Structure 1
Amino acid sequence: MNEIRNDDTPAALSAPIDPGKLAMLHQRLEAAAQAEGLVDVAYTTVDSPVGKLLLAATPKGLVRVAYARENHDQVLEALAAKLSPRILRAPKQLDEVARELDEYFDHRRQQFDLPLDLSLSRGFRQLVQKHLPQIGYGQTRSYKEMAEMVGSPKAVRAVGTACATNPLPVVVPCHRVLRTDGTLGGYIGGLEAKTTLLDLEAAA
């Protein structure tokens, strides 16, 4: 029976990887990929009062905000399938998004000034999502009122689906849409996150 001898292990494989060097190498990879136009989707994760958020952007703008409960790995796989497999963790590309989110959670921002890529939605869902930012900070609307706002007063259920599938929660404020009786309704980030966002805006 052959034995694996420790002295046969190459030093390069047995030595621990220096985190600083690894970060530097990744930054060089990120810069080179961006310079060559090889990145179609840049992403990063940030901490927030509603948990760790995945942020993803295309050259057109912010395309995805995902809660941890959505499973970030699965979200990235879906982005690769729907948009492009050329995805790279590139935090610098999302610095402005992260800054505006920090300001929002710190009560220093009431609306976002970010370019958005709504290509993950189509038709009526995209129409509803385009109208969601018209609900002012600290205000709420019912699903019925949203249906009326987009010119389809009978499409209450479809409005609910559009809110439930919003690819840009927080930034595109589907959390401001409630049931007609004032109860929360569903939310992609969970009811605790929806309550946190509404309470945050109400306290401003």
Structure 2
Amino acid sequence: MGSFYISFYDSPIGLIKIVANEEAIVALDFVYKRSKESENDVIRQCKIQLDEYFKGIRKEFDVNIEINGTDFQKKVWQELKRIPYGQVRSYKDIAVAIGNEKAVRAVGGANNKNKIAIIIPCHRVVGKDGSLTGYAGGLWRKKWLLEHEERNSK
């Protein structure tokens, strides 16, 4: 197993911890405090893309990511990446899209296990009635991200 690099990004909605290996981002998550940092090119590229995203310029990320999970989780996460910027889908929509319409709760579980926030846009998944439901980073962050994307997609 290779080295991991850890760095932090000050976003408008709080501190984001970025973890990468030599080739890809492996985790991106909201945290409350910094720890020891080390950067590589993958992290530097990710920070540039996060800057562009938060400025409303970047609509899609193309930084390399490495996702680790079950086959089902990976299917869900790939589907999340297909949700267009500024749009939302319900858990049911995702379940149908991956060919398992009865897996609504499992989709929610996979969403919750997403380790690469924002880049894998789990914030774009809402309840069937459009309500903002579970977001590990906090519902206020989910609301902010959705409003930010809506504003910048016009």
Name the counterpart of 1:102: 51
Name the counterpart of 1:58: 21
The structure with the largest helix share of the pair is 1
Q: Which runs of 5+ in 1 are unaligned?
A: 1-37, 74-87
| % identity of equivalent residues | 35
What do you get for the CA RMSD once the two structures are aligned?
A: 1.7
Name the counterpart of 1:201: 149
Residue 170 in 1 paired to residue 118 in 2?
yes
Residues 1-204 of structure 1 aligned to structure 2 (within 5 Å)? 40-68=3-31, 89-93=37-41, 94-119=43-68, 121-204=69-152
- Separation in 2 of the partners of 1:183 and 1:129? 20
Q: Which runs of 5+ in 2 are unaligned?
A: none
Which secondary structure state, in structure 2, belongs to the residue aligned with residue 97 of structure 1?
Answer: helix
Residue type at the aligned position of 1:105: F
Q: Which has the larger radius of gyration?
A: 1
Following superposition, the deviation at residue 72 of structure 1 comes to 6.8
Name the counterpart of 1:78: none
Q: Deviations over 1:150-177 (max 9, x none)?
A: 1111000000011111100111000000
- Separation in 2 of the partners of 1:158 and 1:182? 19
TM-score, length-scaled by structure 2: 0.92
Q: List, as ranges, runs of 4+ consecutive aligned residues in structure 1 with deviation greater than 4 Å.
A: none
How many residue pairs are counted as aligned between the two chains? 151
Which secondary structure state, in structure 1, belongs to the residue aligned with residue 11 of structure 2?
Answer: coil
CA contact (8 A) 2:8 2:34 kept: no
- Separation in 1 of the partners of 2:13 and 2:121? 14
Residue type at the aligned position of 2:21: T
Following superposition, the deviation at residue 92 of structure 1 comes to 3.9
